[in-house]
Structure 1
């Protein structure tokens, strides 16, 4: 194969310009799905896609595709990309590296005059983060048939605005059907969001699969009363029960399975006053493992802990599992393609499993899928201090280029 070289300066300048959109004072970005900042990011991405000669299409969920034709236009394309929505006050690398890295791959092929056999499609998925609209990975989930389109468009944010209405407001309610129409394979480049690659001193991770997880909503209902005159044995304190469950989730992770992790991540308290006993608390629990049986047992245990805590404190409770995703092992051929690409590019690598969910989890259900990780400094992600060394970003993109080119050869 003829040599193809990334333009590191172009790639870096584009990355820096893109992350001026929604930039925060602390060095992160704030571009939650379908916000004005997310719209501006989409606009710039579409402009760059078109400048690169890609045929742009936008589907009913606002997923953005840029297609580069191959010698065999009827062949199923190699699809690759990630997302550009962010957490509230999130990091600059999460998702963006995968989309802009994919665009750089296409332009590097153009620079070298290389035409692949299969078409190539770069994609930016809608609402991967799930921070404004739950569940997460909504765009790729509809595309892969995991969610119904009508359901997804009707999902509401905390202010009661629907995904469909906000998609229309920002001008990204596309006409293309949100469904897969033949995908040869899918690759996703992403920051690790964990410490393992940095600890190993490596630039590249070959991802073998993704943890399964469960998201749960819990509500405790007690009785508000004055914090001073009410005796301790007469209290029905919803927050005490919440604290008990939070402690139990932490203890469960030490005994429920060697890779089990658990988090109480969102808590709302009523009336949230310094001198009033909390009468209602709503909170979420997130448990994850690469073993689905471990997740099943953890969910059962959390449900029991909620019931016990409610009984101790004399509360009513509600428990709902709002999302469940099974652990997903990626395609062996895609895994080996990435491993060979890393070796050919001269990078040592580590095989590992992702504890975070990704769009690749859903794509894996409909097409052979693989992921490439690059290190996260100090294992930090989902906050403004998220950082990856640029040399590592380039290394991962070089591996992506080689893997895509290999799979695009008929």
Structure 2
């Protein structure tokens, strides 16, 4: 059967997405499904069953990454890998990452419906802890699989309640083996919602992603001195929150001097965190992103110097801790060409663009030719319950994924 006749079943896919959205469902339609929680286990169990129903060979690696393999006519060849993640933010939406996994499942279901065989095997993957909302940093599953992170470092990660990654993996029953990791990958494709406004503002149906901008995550701890708020005069206080506020204000003003730099202080914690005590400690995160590695590093170094100088002037004590330092990635031209051909086949409008957010494709790009497909996000919102992509855009994105997968899975090589 000609691949030009291959069409996904959008009603089936949307039903699968809605069934996923019931697991960890929040009042306003979003999802809270943090990595290795009970909700994550329920979702994994359901996904496992879907893989079985699709006739796939299932395996789990030592980081809990889940794979479903569809055999090829030449099964000894390296597979085409497709997928993303099923974990969410604490107040996440029902498409971020999830579309990439369930869209990949729809590709397999469509190939099965059409009894369409491919030369190469195709594997679906659900990566563990892409979000980094429970265990930091983000993308631990894909980073560990590609040896960006060491195995022991990942398994020893703890969440804010002191729960250990490896123990939680065993608790939910998804600790697999190292031999089950994806190896000798022919190519990797990840379908994802854009999570920003560019496609919608440009009235484009598809984003063909050229790469992912670099990122730093930093945590700053400010030390003060606790005291009773009713008895310690203002002039004698060492208020950690006040000092942190001064630092945060300076951070944002410094960032404004760098074009295209994106920065956010997304998490703040204070101690002892009671209404009638001066804070003795304040911790806050800094998320820094820029498409140019040199610019990002120059800003990060200037930031450190500025914070250190302020601590001397203000008589503060601070500690700066690096959580993540991720380089800008550029995707493979031959994969980008395959995606563009698929988009043009369907006559969809498109935009060549870079991803502002990090994704599992960032680490897969280190071990295999990689590409990403974006679809629009309504109002550009994500990591919240209001996250939304329309069914028509989802259908277009998965059609492009399907055509690209068929093309790649029937290629001898990428030259």
Q: Tell me, what secondary structure is at the counterpart of 2:374? A: strand
| Alpha-carbon separation, structure 1, partners of 2:48 and 2:208 | 29
1:346 is matched with: 347
Displacement of 1:367 in angstroms is: 0.4
The partner residue of 2:40 within 38, 41, 48 is 38
Displacement of 1:229 in angstroms is: 4.3
2:59 is matched with: 57
1:193-224 residue CA offsets vs partner (Å, 9 max, x unmatched): 10100101122100111010111111111112
Q: Does 1:374 align with 2:408?
A: no
1:173-195 residue CA offsets vs partner (Å, 9 max, x unmatched): 01343644200000000010101
The partner residue of 1:12 within 11, 14, 24 is 14
TM normalised by structure 2 equals 0.96
Structure 1 contact 236–313 (Cα < 8 Å) conserved = no
2:190 is matched with: 188
| Alpha-carbon separation, structure 1, partners of 2:310 and 2:179 | 47
Q: Tell me, what secondary structure is at the counterpart of 1:361? A: helix
Q: Which runs of 5+ in 1 are unaligned?
A: none
The partner residue of 1:104 within 99, 103, 106 is 106
1:279 is matched with: 280
1:36-95 residue CA offsets vs partner (Å, 9 max, x unmatched): 000000000010001000110111110000000111111100000000000002110101
The partner residue of 1:153 within 155, 164, 173 is 155
Question: Number of residue pairs matched?
Answer: 409
Q: Tell me, what secondary structure is at the counterpart of 1:220? A: strand
Displacement of 1:160 in angstroms is: 1.2
| Alpha-carbon separation, structure 2, partners of 1:178 and 1:254 | 46
RMSD: 1.3
Q: Tell me, what secondary structure is at the counterpart of 1:48? A: helix
| Alpha-carbon separation, structure 2, partners of 1:75 and 1:114 | 17
Q: Does 1:216 align with 2:227?
A: no
1:199 is matched with: 201
| Alpha-carbon separation, structure 2, partners of 1:287 and 1:338 | 29
1:361 is matched with: 362
| Alpha-carbon separation, structure 1, partners of 2:227 and 2:361 | 49
1:323-348 residue CA offsets vs partner (Å, 9 max, x unmatched): 10000011111111111111111101
2:128 is matched with: 126
Structure 1 contact 126–139 (Cα < 8 Å) conserved = yes
Displacement of 1:228 in angstroms is: 4.1
| Alpha-carbon separation, structure 2, partners of 1:286 and 1:176 | 32
| Alpha-carbon separation, structure 1, partners of 2:71 and 2:295 | 44
1:298-321 residue CA offsets vs partner (Å, 9 max, x unmatched): 211221232233223322111121
| Alpha-carbon separation, structure 2, partners of 1:117 and 1:360 | 23
The partner residue of 2:255 within 253, 256, 259 is 253
Q: Does 1:385 align with 2:386?
A: yes
Structure 2 contact 136–323 (Cα < 8 Å) conserved = no
1:325-375 residue CA offsets vs partner (Å, 9 max, x unmatched): 000011111111111111111101001111111000000000000000011
1:308 is matched with: 309
Q: Tell me, what secondary structure is at the counterpart of 2:256? A: helix
TM normalised by structure 1 equals 0.97
1:409 is matched with: 410
2:26 is matched with: 24
Displacement of 1:403 in angstroms is: 0.8
Q: Tell me, what secondary structure is at the counterpart of 1:358? A: coil
1:137 is matched with: 139
| Alpha-carbon separation, structure 2, partners of 1:372 and 1:152 | 28
